[in-house]
Structure 1
């Protein structure tokens, strides 16, 4: 990808798809866990040419079923606004999700490997509001269906992360698919987010280092030749870690007690290798952020089908020199960050935002988002599972994304990230050191 230019030959005017039935109005509460991640997440699902569906086009099926599923997920048909408390809230206007039909002047195979997130190509498969200055001017959900000359099509979704996390998003997409196939919802959404309200009064019991700002002070006396401030364009690459590669990474880590998990091993390796590739000075602190699913960790656990964000950010930090010199050290820090996430910690995080309105800092930070366990292939709208899927772009330059390769792809995990050219070359070299047979 990159040298290929995707041309959209025809793009219809965006239309609104309101819920098929009357739905509740008024303001819909978003919890403090929803407030910190109000970014637009863009994903694409590629479907091969389908057999004749009784004369009904993919666009017709998807539009009609979207209207029906929005009856259950009616907040998605509203608009984001600011409450009197200065927080994000949804005004349930029932206006509807945005729906766009488009046609490409090529075959779907021509767009290449969608696991390589090239925004210049895949970005054309997802609708963006022209001239929108902030998230308040963007719909909570937009869907673009792009038809290709081969008969295949791509469903491109743009969803505001404040509405749900990855687990919730897949529940919605799968509910949409069930509706398109004429089935009842196997997991109706639980819309009430009051279970995650802050305590009164708020009670902050833990230090929340995920919000810590790392400054450049440590590098004032260093001329390390690093590329932290490199303003050159990012290269986006994906790296596949096969089960054998993951086993080799784990073999490099000798931890006390239980063996490290796949996430711990890969997160520690990617954090260490990226820090080294960026040329951070040895005394500069490098921070890792990643999300932990709180659904089973809350006490009591959140109900199945919980609609909102139930992820809590946890963090680790270390001097770059120490981090790059010891992979076991990096993995131990990752494990500690995972184990720190308890019910008490998550309640404290909710209350911390209530008292500070702080946003997590991304300075000198790697933010890992793990999608490797999300059931993307379950997105069946009547044409079977998607032939390919993935992000249209990474939401921030500091983000690395973990995706499952799937059993059909031989298993393992694919790591997507963006780095300046020099740093990407070094990162690739470090990956090849551990993945070479």
Structure 2
């Protein structure tokens, strides 16, 4: 495989420097302070293959400086705040993001379908080295936003971006990269338009979520049992049997000791989705409003994955999926909120019950789990995350889904007017590779691309069960 050659590494600071300040984080932010990476691929036409590399890099650097003036926390650092119990908070100190320029002789054609993960893609992002021992870098010295611009031998470009999950959730990441792309030299006349709407200025303050969490009203005795995501997780841990230490405070996004995973992307076409929807109430009473595409594909994936793993019928199996609380809280969070606003909803059955359950039953349970997410659910959920968190034991029985279909990352165009959009956007290996990500399909057929990590021994069976729609 071809090598990557780094030619430049620079710090990028906000064009307008903001006063230094501390933003208190919530436990949702502290769940996963590691960097999450996306790689955008842009294939230039023959007429544009001689675009000057430095011009592209400098344009992106200047637009990032402008973007950081409003998204200034991304130029800051995480910090163990001694005034807040040594908890991680966000130190907006204008420490700067980091950008790398690189090139490779490799060509896009060598990788086939760019939507399929390839380990070489890990070289298309800059990965800061973090050590927390004596005489080593500590977390307050590490950038929480990094980017790498790589020119390929075929004339194409990749832009690999890493953002700390303590800084942004998926929706905020999409808003950030969309804003950055809109401010490139080429795009400035286009304005900042996201999903057909002008993007408002980001709101970085976490106070609404902190107020909900700090509400002094005693949590009801049965409140924790109503937060199904936490209750089911403890039940799964107990079911695994003896573990080398007691998991006192499990956190989903703390990397676990896990078997090898292969990251694969499966295309689920609009026709396949409609076929599944008709199973919910039959052809005669079919209505597209009976269930969403997310609900039916999630139900189908849960069935397919559980069947592929060949779990014993009496084993408890659990489906957990991320819910955006921005519109579910009172008062509501703005869509411009830049922190972490997702919690997990949860459904549990035995493997035998899941195998026999109709799609209508599973979709109904998914809807019920969604509807449970309110202020009290979020408050109890966030409080349950208090503490440093222990790594989970391997839990094959746990299926996790994250919905990115409302975030069309492939339409984020850092290279306008040379291209109409990215030919592919590839998430790199997440902290929990078993999570299934639902993304908008690039095939323009209103389908869904599902990225999931699976043990190689189960990959063939899962592919068969997941894609076989009769």
* TM-score of the superposed pair, with normalisation by structure 2: 0.81
Distance in 1 of aligned mates of 2:302 and 2:348 = 10
More moved, 341-350 vs 153-162: 341-350
- Matching of residue 178 in structure 1 with residue 182 in structure 2: yes
Q: Could you say what the CA RMSD is over the residues aligned between the two structures, in angstroms?
A: 3.0
- Residue pair 2:79, 2:139 contacting (<8 A) in 1 also: no
Matches within 5 A, 1:22-421: 22-49=17-44, 51=48, 57-84=55-82, 85-118=85-118, 120-130=119-129, 132=131, 138-180=142-184, 181-182=187-188, 186-197=199-210, 198-201=213-216, 203-205=218-220, 206-207=223-224, 208-211=227-230, 212-215=233-236, 218=239, 233-254=260-281, 259-328=290-359, 329-353=361-385, 363=395, 364-381=397-414, 382-383=416-417, 384-406=420-442, 408-421=443-456
- Residue pair 1:47, 1:385 contacting (<8 A) in 2 also: yes
Spell out, residue by residue over 1:127-182, the C-alpha distance to the aligned partner (whole angstroms, 9 max, x if none).
11246569666421110001012222100011111111111111111111122133
Spell out, residue by residue over 1:200-241, the C-alpha distance to the aligned partner (whole angstroms, 9 max, x if none).
326435322323324576577xxxxxxxx9976322221111
Query: How many residues align structurally?
Result: 420
More moved, 419-428 vs 53-62: 53-62
Please list every run of 5 or more consecutive structure 2 residues that lacks an aligned counterpart in the other structure: 133-137, 193-198, 242-255
Residues 378 and 216 of structure 1: CA distance in aligned 2, closer, same or farther (over 3 Å): closer
SS in 2 for 1:146: strand
Alignment-derived partner of residue 224 in structure 1:
none
More moved, 284-293 vs 343-352: 343-352
* TM-score of the superposed pair, with normalisation by structure 1: 0.87
- Residue pair 2:121, 2:428 contacting (<8 A) in 1 also: yes
- Residue pair 2:261, 2:434 contacting (<8 A) in 1 also: no
- Residue pair 2:8, 2:102 contacting (<8 A) in 1 also: no
SS in 2 for 1:44: strand
Distance in 1 of aligned mates of 2:65 and 2:321 = 34
Task: Report how far residue 378 of structure 1 moved.
Answer: 3.5
Distance in 2 of aligned mates of 1:40 and 1:56 = 26
Please list every run of 5 or more consecutive structure 1 residues that lacks an aligned counterpart in the other structure: 221-228
Alignment-derived partner of residue 3 in structure 2:
7
